[in-house]
Structure 1
Amino acid sequence: MKNLLDNLYKNQSIIYKSFLLAFSVFLIVYFFPTGGQFKYEIIKSKPWQYENLYAPFDFAILKSNEEISAEKSKIIETHIPYFNYDVNTGKEVKSSWQNQLNTSQDSLLINNLAISEFISGTIDEVYENGIRIKDESVNNYTIVFLIKDKVVNEVLYKDILTQEDLKPFLNLKINESDLLSIRNDLLEVFFEVFKVNVEYDKALNKNQIQSKFDQISYTRGRVSKGSKIIAKGETIEGEKLRMLRSLKNEYESQSLESSAFVVVVTGYTFLVLLSLLMLLLFIRQYRPDIYDNNNKITFIFFNILFLVFLTLLIMRLDTDYIYVVPLCILPLTLKAFFDARLGLFTHVITVLILGLVVPNSFEYMFLQIIAGIVTILTVSELYKRANLFISVVQITLVYIFAYFAFNMIKEASIAEINYNNFIYFLLSGVGLLFVQPLIYAYEKVFGLVSDLSLLELSDTNSKLLKELSNVAPGTFHHSLNVANLAEAAANEIGANSLLIRVGALYHDIGKMKSPIYFTENQTTSVSPHDELSPTESAEVIIGHRLEGIEIAKRRNLPDRIIDFIRTHHGTSTVYYFYAKQKEEEDGEVAIDDFRYPGPIPFSKETAILMMCDAVEAASKSLKEPNTQLIDDFVEKIINKQIEEDQFINANITFKEIQSIKKILKAKLNNIYHLRIEYPD
């Protein structure tokens, strides 16, 4: 039992990765669509490259989207609209119009029955078909259905007067009467009492149109089982194209039998497993530091699952919208946290997985892989908003250009290209702009560090660095010098210069606890070490590393920065106090009491910092520096670190170390070069 637990503990990383791989494969395959798959590629206007194809079963030939749209448009154009006639409004106006008149209007009717009858008759005539609000969308000369008291009447639309039609209609009626002298008074009466009582019935018209849509036949004929659909070498166009697309649709809409379902799911499982396994092997071979970190592996798999699920969700809504998904956010994110090569490889693997289920898989994979390559090539310094915006514009244009060129071949006609996808590409580009808040969220959830955070940390006006400059100004100046040296060395060998600059700025923050014990902060010739034994002095000096780690954790500095604090002295010794102790005791001294606890540097960046820190600190002891002295000094410091095996865990080569030496020599020569004496 103990051996089993020991083996589980030793292999916990492998066990976790195996579980993560299996769980990811299960989730992806579980949400994959499992309908039938059409095994042939249909390319319009190209010869059929396969053997003669015969109908495996009876199926209907589907109408094209254009034909369906044309039928719907015709239904809308020929639809006779329904209008509701409010009977109560007409009755109310007829019965109460006299009660609404003012005193001057009332005087018209006194002892004048003709005027009263004229007004009543005109009201009857107007409300024969009612009054409506003017609507430019309906032709005035079309027939409409007027629903009056639950009875549908067919009337000319122009016979239903609008408020604008009333005045010319009333003028005409007055002209035909003997009441021209009181025209204005009559018009005033009419406009006072008339009310709109006819309105367009939106709900009824919508239902009527929809019911006609439901009666549309989406097929145009059938193909019998055994009928030849297309022969090898025939061009895929016209009726042949319609039959092939109809057969493909029939395959994909069919539910699989239980035995076939198991076979399909097993096939999906093998392919998805193979794809994700290739990703893991790639990371293990070329990014071992990432492979050994389960948190980073989880982060990569989470991003893959997130984009696969988002694409599958969009497919369930409508497959036409798959290009809305900003798939290039994956290489963008991984490049921000890791590197371009891993970002592109992961993007390609994700596209291959989605290519198993998306329609027009070759077109989809071609566009997404091209866009992913452009993403990696164009996006640099993601923390600059202008760079991100320019890159998004370039990615969107490449999407549009590649899609347009691809469909020129596929459709053999510019007119038949689906231009709606251009809008989807633009929406996808807008989605890519959300990569910065997404990166911020990932940093908080997964504890990773991107260039955006490093840029913030590199600001010397930050609270912690301000405190360092006030409490330990000499250490702050030393850190700035080390940062400049390390950044130049990192640029020379292609390391992460921004990361190493930030690491250099914070590597000695532990000296804030007891700044006076470090020579760069001492302003007089009196040293507090004079009152301590060499062992106690060494303990204080070595302790700044642990103090720095504690301060960094309290201030929530990322682990990648704390790594520089941990490793910048490796397992080297505080040789000055070790030699002093030997001198005092005149015998053997335990060197481990004067040795930093490590760990030693484990990356190019931490190794560079160790070299630059040692060289910069020791260079202060040079009395009369010259080129030869500086060259020998740099060689001595770094060669000693090599002899003490400080770099055996770092992926840095001797050639790169030689390049770093050259940079340090050049920089120190620039710092310590002698100026000519100016005459008094």
Structure 2
Amino acid sequence: MKLRLFRGFRHIPETWNSSLLIRFILFMLMALGLYFYLVESVVPKTYDLQKNTISNVTVAAPMEVEDTEATAILREEAKGSISPVYQMQEDITKNQLKVLDHIYRKIAEVRIASDQNMEEQNEGNGLTPPVILGEPNQAMITHLRDNIPYQFTDETYRTMLKQSPEALATMKTISSNILSTVMLDGVRMNEGMGEAQKKVSELLATSDLEIKAREAIKEIVSSAIVPNIVFDEEATEQAKETAFRSVKPVKIYKGEILVGEGEYITDEIYRKLGIAGLLTHHPNYSPYFGLGLLVLLITLFFYHYISHSSLEMARNNKQLLMFLVIILLNLLTMKIIGLGQDLGYMFSGFLVPAAFGSMLITLFLDLRLALFSGGMFAIAAGFIFNADSATFFDYRYAFVVLASTIAGAYSLRKPTQRRNILASGLIVVAANLAVISAVYMLFYSFNWSDLGKLYGFGVINGLLSAVLTIGFIPFFESAFGILSTMKLIELSNPNHPLLRRLLMETPGTYHHSIMVANLSEASSEAIGANGLLSRVGSYYHDVGKMKRPHFFIENVVGRENPHDRIAPSLSRTIIIAHPYDGAKMLEEYNIPKAIRDIAEQHHGTTLLKFFYHKACKESDSLIPESDYRYPGPKAQTKEAAIVGICDSVEAAVRSLAKPTPDKIEGLVRKIVKDRLDDGQLNECDLTLHELEIITRTICETLQGIFHNRIEYPEEIEVKQA
């Protein structure tokens, strides 16, 4: 009884398989799946707490967040604590000294002018020196009032005007010294002016001048003293800005206990809970957006890599769907094991068999894609197994997952048997133990008991990865029609039911298929095609002949050829049917599509020349060639084309009476040329250079099979004497 296994996604319509819309939907499903798998681990749990109540839970901050309100208050306080900045303006001191010089210069000018007038008047009256100078008059005082910036008392003016030039020079020097001394010490507005006046008096007290002169100097210098320490608005603002920036942000640190169980929730505690996004009615949305951005970047990376790669999944939505299923299965496994951590089982993250995802991707899709996926699985593990509430990402588990996925992918680059997967599992175990040792020594204090438990997790992790890989292989092979290397090796087993039937029912066809397999595998490997697929496809390419085995020449042994007794049209129908009978039979035995395609395409649309010419001879009318051609399709892949060439070559060479290297090469080249001229290779991507390599490889292989043998002499009977 032949069982039909679950066929899953094997018969997805071709329009869907290449649809850009379907591809977009699959990538969207990938992003959404990744997002919803991780969102619970990334977004902090919220609590329905109210202020002025008693908390029934202990709540810790899940991440570091700035308390902007407290920071703003502290910064404003720091800014307000800055006193106004005053700067001494030396230019003011210099200017006042110039003003003082101007005052004494004007006094000296008026005094000199007055003296000159008096001399002129004395000379006119016939007086002779010594001249007695006149008293300062009101006109002189008025002149000074109009030309001096400060207003002094009349007594001060008179005292100054009475001084001799030498005395006036001395008073100027004393005034300048006092003004310089006082202003260089700095004079502030208001309270600073009183201090300056006192200093003037103190400095004048040590002078030898008469009292009136000292009083005049005091009035002049006091008037010239102005504030030279002035408010610097720019420096003050800069100082305030520096103080503002120097206040470090007030932060709520991750792991900080915001409220304990049984603690009263004050306004301040409630405010901090809101800032941390831990209140149900006031959640923090930034983790949602952050996770969304991360998932978008991961999805775009895979989209760009797959779309610009030479992988078949760049055009095959069925393979993309398989990739998506593997990712979601792996993430689901992580989530299930993550439940153990939620139940209090520490270090359960070291148990996660994430390597099985990368191993499946390596087996069915691509090594590099598996490595990139390993990075994604490591990121997911870091989020899912974040046991510490104070962090969103745990590097410990990410390191272990990354190492195990890389080890699993690289160790399965060229698997040939299922036991290779178990060996790969042991390699994953070794990688786990190495990384667990490193992580443990980095993050924990050394304890052999704990380390031994982690080693046990690492061993289970690797072995479980291998077991899951082996367990899921049949599912993916059946559901997606995947033809893995191991599946091909299993199909090449002579004990396969269909091959055993082929051997028992059509031994000639079986041996023909073995010969075609040898030729096809060698030719395919010579041009870089899939040699194993060509070999297995050759084993099954003629199984359709089992339906009517005796109508095919290789199975006609010691009996009459049935085609001699039937019409060419009937022979044509029987012969042409065998590729399609074989494809149906292969489908019944659940043989993968790639092998069914070889069986269906290996004859393409070639002409049954023998029966066509026979029909033409027997018919009076012209018979179109199309009646005696296989309906196709033509070979779509290199492997199908090679099997078709080798099938024709093997049958033709077997008909040679005495095959020699030259005869074999001539026959092979003729068959290849006929196929090429007939357009049978138009729909596959074989190049002329590859056809030449195939031709030479077939010739070399056939020469090894049909090599010259030594003719042994017959045994001569020796008569007994």
- Structures share fold, TM-score greater than 0.5: yes
Is the partner of 1:596 in helix, strand or coil?
coil
Aligned pairs (5 A) from 1:304-383: 304-318=327-341, 320-352=347-379, 359=386, 360=393, 364-379=397-412, 382=415
Identify which of 399, 411, 420 aligns with 2:432.
399
- Cα distance in structure 2, aligned partners of 1:11 and 1:471: 38
Identify which of 555, 560, 567 aligns with 1:533.
567
Which amino acid in 2 is paired with 1:337? Answer: F
Cross-structure match for 2:43: 35
Cross-structure match for 1:424: 457
Asked whether 1:279 is paired with 2:306, we answer: no
Identify which of 568, 575, 595 aligns with 2:602.
568
Tell me how far 1:545 sits from its aligned partner: 1.1
- Greater mean alpha carbon deviation, residues 349-358 or residues 569-578: 349-358
Asked whether 1:290 is paired with 2:313, we answer: yes
Tell me how far 1:260 sits from its aligned partner: 4.1
Cross-structure match for 1:57: 252
Tell whether the 8 Å contact from 1:568 to 1:610 is kept in structure 2 after alignment. yes
Identify which of 558, 564, 568 aligns with 2:592.
558
Is the partner of 2:252 in helix, strand or coil?
coil
Cross-structure match for 2:537: 503
- Cα distance in structure 1, aligned partners of 2:477 and 2:631: 30
- Cα distance in structure 2, aligned partners of 1:251 and 1:660: 72
Which amino acid in 2 is paired with 1:558? Answer: P
Cross-structure match for 1:590: 624
- Cα distance in structure 2, aligned partners of 1:387 and 1:288: 24
Which amino acid in 2 is paired with 1:323? Answer: F
1:586-615 alpha-carbon deviations (Å, 9 max, x no partner): 775322222222222333332332222222
Tell me how far 1:552 sits from its aligned partner: 1.8
Q: Taking structure 1 as reference, are residues 55 and 473 closer, same or farther at Cα in structure 2, changes over 3 Å only?
A: same
Tell me how far 1:328 sits from its aligned partner: 1.0
Cross-structure match for 1:520: 554
Tell me how far 1:416 sits from its aligned partner: 11
Cross-structure match for 1:303: 326
Tell whether the 8 Å contact from 1:38 to 1:251 is kept in structure 2 after alignment. no
Asked whether 1:486 is paired with 2:534, we answer: no
Tell me how far 1:307 sits from its aligned partner: 0.9
Specify every segment of 5 or more residues in structure 2 that has no aligned partner in the other structure, as ranges.
1-13, 45-61, 66-245, 263-267, 387-392, 715-721
TM-score by length of 1: 0.62
Tell me how far 1:365 sits from its aligned partner: 4.6
Larger radius of gyration: 2
- Cα distance in structure 2, aligned partners of 1:61 and 1:413: 23
- Cα distance in structure 2, aligned partners of 1:485 and 1:411: 59
Tell me how far 1:541 sits from its aligned partner: 1.1
Is the partner of 2:431 in helix, strand or coil?
helix
Identify which of 466, 471, 474 aligns with 2:508.
474
Which amino acid in 2 is paired with 1:14? Answer: L
Q: Taking structure 1 as reference, are residues 552 and 416 closer, same or farther at Cα in structure 2, changes over 3 Å only?
A: closer
Cross-structure match for 1:129: none
1:629-679 alpha-carbon deviations (Å, 9 max, x no partner): 222222222233334443444454544443333321111001111212222
Cross-structure match for 1:387: 420
Is the partner of 2:659 in helix, strand or coil?
coil
Is the partner of 1:336 in helix, strand or coil?
helix
- Cα distance in structure 2, aligned partners of 1:490 and 1:27: 40
Aligned pairs (5 A) from 1:661-672: 661-672=695-706
Which amino acid in 2 is paired with 1:35? Answer: V
Identify which of 633, 638, 643 aligns with 2:672.
638
Is the partner of 1:433 in helix, strand or coil?
helix
Cross-structure match for 1:212: none
- Cα distance in structure 2, aligned partners of 1:450 and 1:402: 31
Aligned pairs (5 A) from 1:653-668: 653-668=687-702
Query: Among the aligned pairs, what percent are the same residue?
Result: 28
1:409-468 alpha-carbon deviations (Å, 9 max, x no partner): x45976799735433211211212312122123334444343444333222233322222
Tell whether the 8 Å contact from 1:475 to 1:521 is kept in structure 2 after alignment. yes
Q: Taking structure 1 as reference, are residues 474 and 300 closer, same or farther at Cα in structure 2, changes over 3 Å only?
A: same
- Cα distance in structure 1, aligned partners of 2:466 and 2:544: 39
Q: Taking structure 1 as reference, are residues 11 and 446 closer, same or farther at Cα in structure 2, changes over 3 Å only?
A: closer
CA RMSD of aligned residues (A): 3.9
Is the partner of 1:286 in helix, strand or coil?
coil
Tell whether the 8 Å contact from 1:35 to 1:253 is kept in structure 2 after alignment. no
Q: Taking structure 1 as reference, are residues 375 and 661 closer, same or farther at Cα in structure 2, changes over 3 Å only?
A: farther
Which amino acid in 2 is paired with 1:599? Answer: P
Tell me how far 1:298 sits from its aligned partner: 1.9
Identify which of 274, 287, 291 aligns with 1:268.
291
1:42-98 alpha-carbon deviations (Å, 9 max, x no partner): xxxxxxxxx997541377758xxxxxxxxxxxxxxxxxxxxxxxxxxxxxxxxxxxx
Specify every segment of 5 or more residues in structure 1 that has no aligned partner in the other structure, as ranges.
1-7, 41-50, 63-214, 218-223, 226-246
Which amino acid in 1 is paired with 2:34? Answer: I
The count of corresponding residues between Structure 1 and Structure 2 is: 481
Tell me how far 1:482 sits from its aligned partner: 1.2
Asked whether 1:679 is paired with 2:687, we answer: no
Tell whether the 8 Å contact from 1:615 to 1:634 is kept in structure 2 after alignment. yes
Tell me how far 1:339 sits from its aligned partner: 4.3
- Cα distance in structure 1, aligned partners of 2:676 and 2:247: 71
Tell whether the 8 Å contact from 2:363 to 2:412 is kept in structure 1 after alignment. no
- Cα distance in structure 2, aligned partners of 1:52 and 1:580: 103
Tell whether the 8 Å contact from 1:275 to 1:353 is kept in structure 2 after alignment. no
- Cα distance in structure 2, aligned partners of 1:640 and 1:282: 41
Tell me how far 1:509 sits from its aligned partner: 0.7
Cross-structure match for 1:547: 581
Tell me how far 1:278 sits from its aligned partner: 3.6
Tell whether the 8 Å contact from 2:517 to 2:538 is kept in structure 1 after alignment. yes
1:189-221 alpha-carbon deviations (Å, 9 max, x no partner): xxxxxxxxxxxxxxxxxxxxxxxxxx999xxxx
Cross-structure match for 1:124: none
Tell me how far 1:480 sits from its aligned partner: 1.2
Tell me how far 1:308 sits from its aligned partner: 1.4
Tell me how far 1:352 sits from its aligned partner: 4.7
Asked whether 1:13 is paired with 2:19, we answer: yes
Tell me how far 1:469 sits from its aligned partner: 1.9
Which amino acid in 1 is paired with 2:43? Answer: G
Which amino acid in 2 is paired with 1:310? Answer: T
TM-score by length of 2: 0.59
Tell whether the 8 Å contact from 2:636 to 2:684 is kept in structure 1 after alignment. yes
Q: Taking structure 1 as reference, are residues 269 and 253 closer, same or farther at Cα in structure 2, changes over 3 Å only?
A: closer
Tell whether the 8 Å contact from 1:29 to 1:265 is kept in structure 2 after alignment. no
Tell whether the 8 Å contact from 2:563 to 2:571 is kept in structure 1 after alignment. yes
Q: Taking structure 1 as reference, are residues 462 and 407 closer, same or farther at Cα in structure 2, changes over 3 Å only?
A: closer
Cross-structure match for 1:611: 645
- Cα distance in structure 1, aligned partners of 2:422 and 2:428: 10
- Cα distance in structure 2, aligned partners of 1:254 and 1:286: 44
Tell whether the 8 Å contact from 2:18 to 2:316 is kept in structure 1 after alignment. no
Tell me how far 1:305 sits from its aligned partner: 0.6
